[in-house]
Amino acid sequence: MVSSAETTAARRGLLDQAVRFVLFGVLSAAVDFGIYSLLLHFGLWADLAKAISFVFGTVTAYLLNRRWTFDSKGGAAPAVRFAMLYSTTFFVNVGVNAAGLAMFAGNHWRVPIAWVIAQAIATVINFVLLRTVVFRSPAPAATAV
């Protein structure tokens, strides 16, 4: 059975991780959106611009989250799991962005609206899988009563 102190510590750990993930996510998203906007400004095809900006945002997210959110030492296994996860969310992100651009065609705000929707969906997927698969958080030790 897990004591209430261990349960509280585990919840606090989840909350701390979630807060850090959001803060680093905002920074990574700024990198992503900034590069995306810059590439669009220079006339690059929207899907290619999104793909390139996603990679830059992803590298930023990996470096920050590995060290300061999930306190992982790194190594090959987490890096491979991270690459597999972000390869999947890459297609989700770019696909949702493309669908959003098509859905909001003619709307002056279509680029930021599509980007935010794509980012939100990818963010939820990423947090859950980063915490449970990529940087596996150790489960609290069970204590005998």
pLDDT in tens, the chain (145 residues): 555 545 544 555 888 988 999 999 999 999 999 999 999 999 999 999 999 998 999 889 888 988 888 887 777 888 888 889 988 998 999 999 999 999 999 999 999 999 999 989 998 898 888 888 888 755 555 555 4
Residue 123 maps to a domain = yes
Residue 80 maps to a domain = yes
Residue 104 maps to a domain = yes
Within the chain, how many helices (H) and strands (E) appear? 4, 0
Residue 3: per-residue pLDDT: 55
Range of the domain at 107: 4-134
Residue 141 maps to a domain = no
Residue 131: per-residue pLDDT: 85
Number of domains in the chain: 1
Residue 138: per-residue pLDDT: 54
Residue 145 maps to a domain = no
Residue 139 maps to a domain = no
* CA–CA dist 87, 37 (Å, integer): 22
What type of residue sits at position 37?
A: S
Residue 143 maps to a domain = no
Radius of gyration of the chain (CA): 18
Measured at the alpha carbon of residue 133, what is the angle toward residues 140 and 25, in degrees to the nearest 5?
Answer: 100
Residue 144 maps to a domain = no
